[in-house]
Amino acid sequence: MSLLFEELDYRETPIGALSLRRRRELRLGVDVFEIKLGDEFLMTSLFTASEIALATLGLAELSGDGLDVVVGGLGLGYTAQAVLEHDKVGSLLVVDALDAVIDWHRQGLLPLGPGLSTDPRCRFVLGDFFALSASNAGFDPETAERMFHAILLDIDHSPDYVLNPRHAPFYQPDGLRQLATHLHPGGIFGLWSNELPDDAFTERLAGIFQEARAELVRFHNPLQDREFVQTVYLARS
């Protein structure tokens, strides 16, 4: 039997206190891994449908082999793992600004960490996704101006509910236009959101990209016995 609760690690970071916790959910008989920033829950292993959908929906838009993909936000690793489950993916860069999160995966403190860390297609990049997107050099510190077939982002709660005010310009036309320069023609930008679709943001995407839409992701919350709905935005360069 697992311990009912343990804090696996605690770090002070530039954006606040970050903690990794594991607790036993007795009603479901499972261990739940959670990351908190201060008193706010950032992510949980209990609900991962939309994080996985970000990868599956985004890659479903692409054909061919040897796809080069960026995931912004490592978190618990569910989006990255879902990307690597596609044989057509040739390489994956996972960008995260918090060295603690990358350490937790490399140290095996998180269940998906060993698989991500040892997959030869996957490389962790310690960096600010938003600053890298705004730069001409792009996301790969080893290859300046490298372009990608898909860029999948799951960092902020939604385009209007950001973890850091410095992220906000990314979701405006100039920020989205700069992101598009890092995509191959026909490449896909995918964005996770904890909120229902925002028509104004979808229109903003459509003004920059060739096409854009919002997909609803529905899943059942067994603790509250009700349906939750989140959003994945998809845009093609």
User: Does position 1 have pLDDT exceeding 70, yes or no?
Assistant: no
pLDDT band at 91 (very low <50, low <70, confident <90, very high): very high
Q: Is 24 left (phi over 0), alpha (psi -120 to 50) or beta?
A: beta
Q: What is the pLDDT of residues 112-162, one digit of tens each?
A: 999 999 999 999 999 999 999 999 999 999 999 999 999 999 999 999 999
Q: b/e string for 142-170 if b means 16 or more Cβ within 10 A?
A: eeeebbbbbbbbbbbebbeebbeeebeeb
Q: Residue 18 has which token pair? A: 């970050």
Question: In CATH, what class is 47-236?
Answer: alpha beta
Strands 226-236 and 148-153, sheet pairing: unpaired
Residues 6+ apart with CB under 8 A from 27: 222, 223
User: Domain-by-domain residue ranges, the chain?
Assistant: 47-236
Whether the model pTM is above 0.75: yes
- Supply the pLDDT for residue 13: 86
Residue 1 C-beta-side C-alpha neighbours within 13 Å: 6
Q: What is the pLDDT of residues 96-112, one digit of tens each?
A: 999 999 999 999 999 99
